[in-house]
């Protein structure tokens, strides 16, 4: 029996897909993560297809459906097609109607998929409180990696007017601090140089009175030298205590702070609990406490009632703050969200044009950010992608190694000199090697 897993969406979903793969392998099933275009069937082998979906936008839904259709087309009668993830959680009945789909399993039950695949169907029906399963994933430990993702939080209580994710992930839940600490100690012993803390709303972490700030303090006190990288943190969680711990050199200078809009009017309609000046203050303070940080953001183009001046406000804030990278989302209506009550008066063409301008701005800003480090050294950890070793610096510059390729760089943290920067790629060489 073999399994192919297709992952869509956020880092948390990627972590869960990787965890499913490891759990399937542990149960004697040959499993791997594949790109949707690489789905295939092997004659004579029972194949399990798992499509781990995202539903953050209508485009995400469309990508997931295309992968489902492809798997349904190539699967044989003895094969199994399982749909899981956020789209499966919110639109279970719709996906179950697709010809060839055998099981639709929501996020709360996702961790049970390996048991279901090996025939332990009873476990699915026996679980009474499904929400308790969100931290039952097997933490994957890959010996060929230098960084490990650690799921510490799930769900969200914010209910931004455009966002469907609270419907897909439920209320905010936090993993026991002792579990987090134990796992990070374990991966440090395995030689990992970095732990990436991930969650749907990481800043909301709170377990038995332990906030994200306190959790970071405990991790630093309980480990030796492993670096901590943080996934996205919403602006409202940046308090003085968090800034204090973020100044530690054990925390990677890479911060993702979603802005969504540079217009106070639009932020209010989005139900985002901050104004643009307070957001600007956060970015300014991050640059004061860390040297050369990578600061990323998210922005939505074409939100209902977004006028040209609102968009230009967003554009200029992004340009003036000189973000290292930006993630652009074109607004799309999401069933069950408050934004559906607002007249969607931004045309498709306007949304496309605004998205394109923001994407081009983001590319330019990222190029300018990387150019600052040309002919400079940064420490990097390395992972192999195809035939290339890619170094990831502390401030999240991905550098293609041009010397020392014959060596195994896994689990190594070494200085790398950035020797070439183009709009598409950054290259460098290990210091001390000819």
CATH number of the domain at 345, please.
Answer: 3.30.750.200
| Domain boundary, last residue among 252, 272, 303 | 252
Q: What is the arithmetic mean of pLDDT over 406-432?
A: 88
The whole-number pLDDT of residue 378 equals: 95
Radius of gyration of the chain (CA): 22
Domain encompassing residue 28:
2-133
pLDDT grade for 132, boundaries at 50, 70 and 90: low
Q: Check: CB of residue 57 under 8 Å from CB of residue 87.
A: no
Specify the residue for token string 């993560």: 33
State whether 155 and 273 are in the same domain: no
The whole-number pLDDT of residue 45 equals: 83
Q: What is the arithmetic mean of pLDDT over 201-213?
A: 97
| Domain boundary, last residue among 133, 153, 185 | 133
pLDDT grade for 403, boundaries at 50, 70 and 90: confident
Write down the pTM of the prediction. Answer: 0.90
State whether 247 and 148 are in the same domain: yes
The yes-or-no verdict on residue 44 having pLDDT over 90 is: no
State whether 243 and 353 are in the same domain: no
State whether 126 and 146 are in the same domain: no
The whole-number pLDDT of residue 116 equals: 86
């Amino acid at each position: 029996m073999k399994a192919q897993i297709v992952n869509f969406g956020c880092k948390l979903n990627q972590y869960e897909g990787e965890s499913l793969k490891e759990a399937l392998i542990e149960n004697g099933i040959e499993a791997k993560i594949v790109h949707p275009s690489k789905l295939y069937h092997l004659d004579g082998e029972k194949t399990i297809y798992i499509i781990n979906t995202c539903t953050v936008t209508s485009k995400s839904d469309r990508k997931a459906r295309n992968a489902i259709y492809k798997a349904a087309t190539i699967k044989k009668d003895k094969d199994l097609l399982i749909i899981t993830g956020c789209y499966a959680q919110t639109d279970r009945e719709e996906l179950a109607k697709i010809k060839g789909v055998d099981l639709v399993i929501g996020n709360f039950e996702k961790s049970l998929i390996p048991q279901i695949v090996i025939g332990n169907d009873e476990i699915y029906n026996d679980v009474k409180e499904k929400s308790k399963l969100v931290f039952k994933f097997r933490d994957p430990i890959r010996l060929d990696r230098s960084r490990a993702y650690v799921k510490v939080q799930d769900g969200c209580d914010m209910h931004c007017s455009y966002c469907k994710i609270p419907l897909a992930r439920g209320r905010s839940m936090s993993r026991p601090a002792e579990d987090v600490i134990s796992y990070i100690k374990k991966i440090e012993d395995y030689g990992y140089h970095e732990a990436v803390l991930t969650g749907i709303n990481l800043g909301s972490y709170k377990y038995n009175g332990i906030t994200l700030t306190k959790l970071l303090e405990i991790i630093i006190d309980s480990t030796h030298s492993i670096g901590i990288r943080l996934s996205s943190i919403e602006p409202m969680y940046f308090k003085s205590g968090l800034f204090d711990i973020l100044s530690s050199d054990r925390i990677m200078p890479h911060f993702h702070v979603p802005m969504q809009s540079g217009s106070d009017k639009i932020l209010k309609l989005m139900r985002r609990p901050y104004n643009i000046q307070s957001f600007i203050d956060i970015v300014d303070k991050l640059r004061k406490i860390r040297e050369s940080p990578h600061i990323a953001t998210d922005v939505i183009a074409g939100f209902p009632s977004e006028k040209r001046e609102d968009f230009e406000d967003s554009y200029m804030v992004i340009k003036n703050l000189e973000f290292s990278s930006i993630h652009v989302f074109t607004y799309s209506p999401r069933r069950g969200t408050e934004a559906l009550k607002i007249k969607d008066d931004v045309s498709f063409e306007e949304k496309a044009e605004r998205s394109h301008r923001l994407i081009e701005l983001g590319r330019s800003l990222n190029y300018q950010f990387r150019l600052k480090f040309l002919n400079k050294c940064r420490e990097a950890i390395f992972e192999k992608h195809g035939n290339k070793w890619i170094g990831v610096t502390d401030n999240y510059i991905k550098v293609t190694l041009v010397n020392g390729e014959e060596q195994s760089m896994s689990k190594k943290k070494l200085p790398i000199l950035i020797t070439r920067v183009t709009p598409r790629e950054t290259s460098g060489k290990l210091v001390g090697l000819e």
